[in-house]
Amino acid sequence: MQKFHIKNATIFNEGHSFVGDVLVENDQIIAVESSLTTPANAQVIDATGLWLLPGMIDDQVHFREPGLTHKGTIASESRAAVAGGITSYMEQPNTVPNAVTQELLADKYQIAATQSYANYSFLMGGTNDNLEELLKTNPKNVAGIKLFLGSSTGNMLVDDPEVLEQIFSSTPLIIDVHCEDETTIRANLAQYKEKYGAEIPVTAHHLIRSTEACYLSSSRAVALAQKTGARLHVFHLSTAAEMELFRNDIPLSEKKITAEVCIHHLWFTNEDYSTKGNLIKWNPAVKTAADREALWEALNDDRIDVIATDHAPHTWEEKSKSYLEAPSGGPLVQHALVALLEAHFQGRISVEKIVQKMAHNPAILFQVEKRGFIKPGYFADLVLVNPNDPWTVHKDNILYHCGWSPFEGTTFKAKITHTFVNGHLAYANGQVDERKAGKRLLFDRK
């Protein structure tokens, strides 16, 4: 029997913070009190001066297995995730082959069962012709359905309006969408090719994958969800214009249409293309400083419900190609939480709000069973943070398989000291324990 007694931590949970103790036994939290007696055979962790947070739940990652393992694997990227305080993730279907049948989806779960350091779920991918397969998806053990309404890595574009309405009308599952209007993007790209030929600068990325492309697509998805009553979750919002589409006047548990923002859209702006280049080339594109400010405002006033990473590693060689040839996406799971805490120190967001948006709300939104909170009876997914131990990201401490980070050279004030996954001490003081303790996420759904 594995027991831990975490003592004297500043515990952040459900909008409050207090100094207290947490008792972990096997895979569960047994007690949370201001003071607890150490049980026999328990390992004591003195957390005086440290912050204790629920394990973060990342609702959008691309871990690249199967088929793209030169970029990353379930093992390598989940290992980086636990070092970054992310204890659960929801992975996207645009691997190779695309996870668009129940059999292919099951293959990914089979890999993760032996390879994942963190808890996992895999989204079922939608296409223009797989409605029958989508409807077989089990809501109790699959997070949701993913639809690409704009092409991205893997090119799983769903662009048939009749098919979209059928999907939205037919499934009770959460429909997660990537929203960019393909017609607008193609027209913009043609203009820039006419001007620059093959030498389009990366500084044009946010003008090609423009505000108009994002708003057109996301507004159509929201309108279709309103028409059909579908449960819609819009991934990686990037523009000020889209913020008018989302509400903050009803509780999250009652929302039918919800919104997500990613770390890179909160951190970078188009001004960073000149120094970061393709390393910050994402779809949707990083936009302007004004867009970033609008995202922060909507995040803090609860129009945006969730923060995620859209972790999507590519090799350095791939990212070093020309703008037109370099793929979109970048690795983020190891540095997401410390980047958010850096934003906290800058006065942009409270720690309580970070915990709400990256632990509590993903659990509520996806109805994740017994995770996302520090409560007795919940799985012991926990993160200890030293709020004042500065460190700098460099190649020697990057755990991603691809070996690079857009944050390389950045100094963060906070450092993650311990991560528990299902009561197992998966990461401590700079070292990942090689036992893979991740479990399949389950969902409290009918």
For the record, the structure tokens of 320 come out as 């070093």
Q: How far apart are CA 217 and CA 395, in angstroms?
A: 38
Question: Is 305 one of the annotated active-site residues of the chain?
Answer: no
Residue of 427, 432, 437, 422 whose CA lies nearest to 25: 422
Q: How far apart are CA 352 and CA 344, in angstroms?
A: 10
Q: How far apart are CA 335 and CA 318, in angstroms?
A: 21
For residue 138, CA distances in Å to 102, 116, 310 come to 10, 21, 24
Q: How far apart are CA 120 and CA 240, in angstroms?
A: 32
Of residues 310, 381, 396, 444, which has the active-site annotation?
Answer: 310
Report helix, strand and coil shares of the chain as percent, to nearest 5.
35, 25, 45
Contacts of 322 (CB under 8 A, 6+ apart): 198, 199
Query: What sign does the CA torsion over 311, 299, 185, 168 have?
Result: positive
Alpha helices in 64-181 (DSSP H): 74-83, 102-115, 131-134, 161-170
Residue of 322, 360, 380, 331 whose CA lies nearest to 199: 322
35: buried, middle or exposed (CB in 10 Å: 19+, 13-18, 0-12)?
A: exposed
Of how many residues is the chain composed? Answer: 446
Strand partners, 56: 86
Residue type, 119: N
Q: How far apart are CA 134 and CA 124, in angstroms?
A: 7
What are the φ and ψ backbone dihedral angles of 338, each rounded to 5 degrees? -65, -30
Residues serving a catalytic function are: 310
